Structure formats: C-alpha cells, structure tokens
Amino acid sequence: MIKAAAAELGFDIVGIAKAEPLDVEGARFMNWLAGGFHGEMKWLEREPERRTDPRSIFPEARSVVVVALNYYTPYEHLSEGNKGKISRYAWGDDYHEVIGERLRKLLDLIVSEVPGAKGKICVDTAPMMDKAWAVRAGIGWLGKHSNVITTEVGSWIFIGELLLDVELEPDTDLVPDHCGSCTACIDACPTKAIVDPYVVDSRKCISYATIELRDEELPDAIVPHLDGWLYGCDICQEVCPWNRFEKPSNESAFEPRYGETSLDLDSIADMSHDEYVDRFRRSAMKRTKLSGLKRNAKHLKKRRL
C-alpha cells in the first residue's frame, strides 16, 4: 500500500529498509570527516554518530521508507556570452519543499490505514545519511562520484525518507555496484575532487566552492576550472554512462524557472537584496546567499575579460 501510494504521489522509486544503525557506512563517514574532506561544513562534525542511527532522531523508528524523485529536464546549460551556468538540480523549485509536501501526504495516508502510526519526514535537512539509506533500501548504488545511480533514470534524483514506528518488510534485493572499471567521472572532474573512487574531497569540488563555501573569494585552485559554473557543477553526472537512461521528470516544479538554465552575470552583480529574495523565493539557490552569487559572478566575469 505504501509503495503504491508513493507512486501515486509521483515518486519514481520507493524502497524500504529496517531502521537500524549504519555501521559500515558510518565508519566510512567518520574516516571522511577525519580526512578533512568536508571542508568548512562544520555542522557535519556535530554529533556525527547521530547520522548513523535513525533512532537517534526518532527513537520510535522501526522502518525507513526511502523515496527517489527524478528531476531531469531535457534542456542544456547555456554559458555563452555573459552567462553563468546553474546546476541542474537548482533550475526549478526547491526540492526540500516539493518532496517534503509529498511525504507529508504519504504519512497522512499511512496514518489513515494504521491509526496512531507516527513518522518523521526527512529531506536533506535532518541528520540522515540519505545516500546510504537509498542504497540500503534498494533505490540504487553509490557511484564513484558519490551520487546514487539508479538503473531506471540514472543519477538525476532527489532523495527523501519517512521514518515510521511501524514494522515493515524491508527490501532485500539491493542494487549491485554497476560502475565496474569505469572512471569517466574521476577523469572528467577538472579539479580532481574525486580523490578515490567513491570519495570526494569537498575542498576541491566546484559545487562546494560555489554553494557551501562562505569565504569572500573562491580558492585559487578552483577559479581556473570554473568553466562558466555560477552555482554548482554537473560534470561528473553529465559524463556518467548510466545517465543514458535519463528520462524527463513528470514533475513540472523542476522545469527551469523563467526558462533559465543560466543567469546573466551583470544582473547578479547589480542585484539588490529585495530582488534576490523575490527571484529565488522557494528556490534551492538561496543556499549560497546573494553574497556568494555575487562572488561567483565576479570571478566568472574576470575570467572572461
């Protein structure tokens, strides 16, 4: 019933896992932190053990329902002239809100069938290891670029979870790693941020630098490789052979806002705070803040002079 209801709500793939500690995945996460690969994302250091067990944030959890929503839309990035490219995931409306609203509807349906059932909705903001749970629930496998890849629609997916205090039969048919000997993502990364298969050093990543980094200037090692990226970077996914299975999303909310896959750099440089708030309301691009967008646009303009 849960899987049928999730599909009816528009989710592309649904899987179920038992709510238990992620021992192996948690150990890998701790090693990643110890290597400093998280850069300035200091919040990842706070109580990292909470990320390894869903019961630490919802003690009643017995099952984890994992959903995946395809966000691919069949448009191309435009970077000619005075344009700056936007990562594909941020073209449309904020996925936190789109998925969160649907998971709330799913929880309401579950409660109507199982009176008294309780759940917690998690969409990237809760301390959940989203990708690890997607693998555990049979959604896909972790690619060498550290994104989850599915055989159905490739890697252009958003992930969300619904923690439930209901015992559900978990999916046991997990998706094997189909990356094989392919190193397309590793070879294509211009900053060599994929330091080992399945390991990304955020400090070398264009997405991290243009979205998460709060420094007034971009790192010198990043700037020469921006190649028009204003917000994020899609290179490792663009070259992935499994994305030949990409399909247009059925979710209209992920269509490019105002038909834009890139933004005019001068408009960003001149943008006021009020204009910023209006332009990026309910957009994932709020993440980098106006100061971050202006910084990124400044560097791109310098590169093109």
Which 3 state secondary structure label does DSSP give 88?
A: helix
Rounded Cα distance, 183 and 77, in Å: 24
**CB 82: neighbour CB atoms within 10 A?**
16
* 125 and 270 part of one domain: no
Which 3 state secondary structure label does DSSP give 217?
A: coil
**Res 305: pLDDT:** 58
* 111 and 69 part of one domain: yes
* 142 and 235 part of one domain: no
**Res 78: pLDDT:** 79
Amino acid at 89: Y
The first and second tokens of residue 91, run together, are 């073209």
Angle in degrees, CA 85, 73, 69, rounded to 5: 110
**CB 165: neighbour CB atoms within 10 A?**
17
Residues in a beta bridge with 122:
161
Rounded Cα distance, 102 and 99, in Å: 5
**Res 126: pLDDT:** 86
Rounded Cα distance, 17 and 66, in Å: 8
Average pLDDT value over all residues in the chain: 96
Mean pLDDT for 217-245 is 97
Catalytic, 196? Answer no
Instruction: Please name the helix (run of DSSP H) or strand (run of DSSP E) that holds residue 149, with its range, or none.
Output: strand 148-149
Asked if residue 16 belongs to a domain, the reply is yes
> What are the tens digits of pLDDT across the range 30-83?
999 999 999 999 999 988 888 999 999 999 999 999 999 999 999 998 767 799
Domain holding 236, by residue range, is 184-240+251-304
From 164, 195, 224, the end of a domain falls on 164
**Res 304: pLDDT:** 74
pTM over 0.85: yes
Mean pLDDT for 266-290 is 96
The first and second tokens of residue 26, run together, are 């948690």
The torsion angle over the Cα atoms of residues 199, 187, 206 and 222, rounded to 10 degrees, is 110
> What are the tens digits of pLDDT across the range 114-140?
999 999 999 988 899 999 999 999 999
The label of the residue with tokens 């999303």 reads 249
The first and second tokens of residue 156, run together, are 């252009």
* 112 and 208 part of one domain: no
Residues in a beta bridge with 13:
68
* 142 and 11 part of one domain: yes
From 136, 164, 192, the end of a domain falls on 164
Residue of 12, 93, 108, 124 with catalytic role: 124
The first and second tokens of residue 83, run together, are 């344009």
* 218 and 116 part of one domain: no
CA of residue 240 relative to chain centroid, distance: 16
* 33 and 141 part of one domain: yes
CA of residue 151 relative to chain centroid, distance: 18
* 152 and 7 part of one domain: yes
> What are the tens digits of pLDDT across the range 140-179?
999 999 999 999 999 999 999 999 999 999 999 999 999 9
Of 155, 137, 159, which is closest to residue 146 (Cα–Cα)?
A: 155
* 197 and 264 part of one domain: yes
Mean pLDDT for 249-266 is 95
* 160 and 205 part of one domain: no
